[in-house]
Amino acid sequence: MRAWLAHGRALRLLEDAAVGSLLILVCTVTAAQVFFRFVLKAPLSWSDELGTFSFVWFALLGSAIAVRENAHIGVDALTRTLPPRCRAAVAVGSLCLIQLFLLCLVKYGIDLIIRIGDQRSSGLQIQIFWVYLALPVSAALMLLHTLPALQRLVSALRGRLPAEAKG
Rg of the Cα atoms in the chain: 21
Number of helices and strands in the chain (H, E): 5, 0
Alpha carbon 26 to its chain's center: 18
Instruction: Annotate 47-93 with three-state secondary structure.
Output: HHHHHHHHHHHHHHHHHHHHHHCCCCCCCCCCHHHCCHHHHHHHHHH
- pTM of the predicted model as reported, rounded to 2 decimal places: 0.86
Alpha carbon 146 to its chain's center: 11
Instruction: Annotate 18-38 with three-state secondary structure.
Output: HHHHHHHHHHHHHHHHHHHHH
Q: What is the pLDDT along the chain (167 residues), one digit of tens a residue?
A: 566 667 789 999 999 999 999 999 999 999 999 999 999 999 999 999 999 999 999 999 999 999 999 998 888 888 889 888 888 889 999 999 999 999 999 999 999 999 987 899 998 999 999 999 999 999 999 999 999 999 988 888 887 544 333 33
Residue 129, amino acid: F
- Give yes or no for a contact between 94 and 16, defined as CB atoms under 8 angstroms apart: no
